[in-house]
Amino acid sequence: MPRTFISDIQPQMQIDEVFRIADRQLRANRQGGHYLLLQLQDRTGTISGMRWNADERIADKFQRGAYVRVQAASQLHNGVLQLIVHQMQGVEEGQIEPEDFESATRVDVPSLWNELRSLLDSIQDPTLRAIAQSFVTDPEIEVALKIAPAGIKTHHAYPGGLLEHIVSLVKLASALASHYAYLDRDILLAGAFLHDIGKLEELAFDGELTYTDAGQLIGHLVQGVGMVERKAADLVREGCDLDPNKLLHLKHIIVSHHGCLEHGSPKVPMTMESMAFHYIDEMDAKLSSIRGMIEADRTRDTWTPYNPSLARKILKPLS
């Protein structure tokens, strides 16, 4: 019997299939009971599942990363497809087909990587070029960047998503510097490349997609600065003469790119380049999120459901 992948699920279907548990939380309902909120995953995506009348015993039985056979009914809730789970039972890893759970990237990773290398080769400043090259020529960084998502749920949340986001921003930064000739192109390109590099340490994406302990406690902005400082120290030991002011400006872009303290930036943007970069980063992330909202909405409505993080509905493309 052919497998029913998450991408094949439509409303009002009866599902009897094996999924991987990407996340699970035991939550209280308004009546004082509990339910299990699941994030179920296969190679085609993720879907939420609700297991009513759950308790700690059931929650403890089904851990993140485990495989589970789910018997459920699919339904739309606020335009988003979800499963109402009736029965669950654990499945041993040896009983599943690994290729059913190997995430397929949505992007052409080799082409993106070559494009990134070419764009970074155009950096003229010796300090910023040396720092950028120290990352892009690091084999471990290359492997991680080719598979890392840019986030868990927000934007570019798929294998290769971080690389896609970075290349998009490096290209936008180059175009921005061409239009506003008074901006420092080199610092914009280096900042675009390294602004989210800390996500390689913040996120765990080899199998289960989640946050590392360090990612939860420190976060990718601070982690990214730490990675730049370690690379800079290595270059200095090798005899490279680095401009401390250029490094300071680069690190400022990393720590300020979320734009405001409320969004997690330790500092707000305080240079022209950091301000300009914040806006293009915000735009790229928001457009990716909106595209994902539209793709996830299975209704035929003209508008998407209200999105709390964006504080609005979105009109779907008319064509």
Total domains present in the chain:
2
Q: What is the CATH number of the domain that holds 160?
A: 1.10.3210
72, 100, 128 — which closes off a domain? 100
**Domain span including residue 191:** 109-293
Give the model confidence (pLDDT) of 18-54 as tens digits: 998 888 888 988 777 889 999 898 888 788 999 998 8
In a domain, 299, yes or no: no
Position 317 in a domain: no
Higher per-residue confidence, 150 vs 110? 110
Instruction: State whether 81 and 204 are in the same domain.
Output: no
Residue 307 lies inside a defined structural domain of this protein: no
Among residues 100, 121, 142, the one where a domain terminates is: 100
Eight-state DSSP code of residue 313? -
Contacts of 77 (CB under 8 A, 6+ apart): none
Q: Is the pLDDT of residue 298 over 80?
A: no
Dig out the tokens for 48 from the structure: 């939420």
Q: Give a yes or no: residue 304 inside a domain.
A: no
The verdict on 122 and 189 lying in the same domain is yes
Instruction: Note whether residue 267 is domain-resident.
Output: yes
Same domain, 120 and 202: yes
Return the top range by mean pLDDT from 75-79, 250-254, 298-302.
Answer: 250-254
Q: Do 178 and 53 fall into the same domain?
A: no
Determine how β-strand 45-51 pairs with β-strand 80-91.
parallel
Count of C-beta atoms within a 10 Å radius of residue 27: 12
What average pLDDT does this structure show over 146-156?
A: 77
The candidate with the shortest Cα–Cα distance to 247, out of 267, 230, 269, is 230
Residue 1 lies in a domain: no
Provide the CATH number for the domain around residue 13.
Answer: 2.40.50.140
134 and 266 fall within a common domain: yes
Query: What does the pLDDT read at residue 105?
Result: 60
pLDDT band of residue 163 (cuts 50, 70, 90) is: very high
In the chain, % of residues over pLDDT 90: 58
Domain end: 100, 126, 152, which one? 100
What's the pLDDT at 103? 62
Tell me if 53 sits within 8 A of 33, measured CB to CB.
Answer: yes
Q: How confident is the prediction for the chain on average, in pLDDT? A: 90
Q: Which helix (H) or strand (E) holds 83?
A: strand 80-91
Residues 23 and 146 in one domain: no
User: Do the domain assignments include residue 215?
Assistant: yes
In this structure, are 183 and 256 located in the same domain? yes
The pLDDT tens digits for 243-289 are 999 999 999 999 999 999 988 899 999 999 999 999 999 999 899 88
pTM: 0.79
- Co-location of 82 and 220 in the same domain: no
**CB atoms < 10 A from the CB of 134, how many?**
18
Domain-located, residue 279 = yes
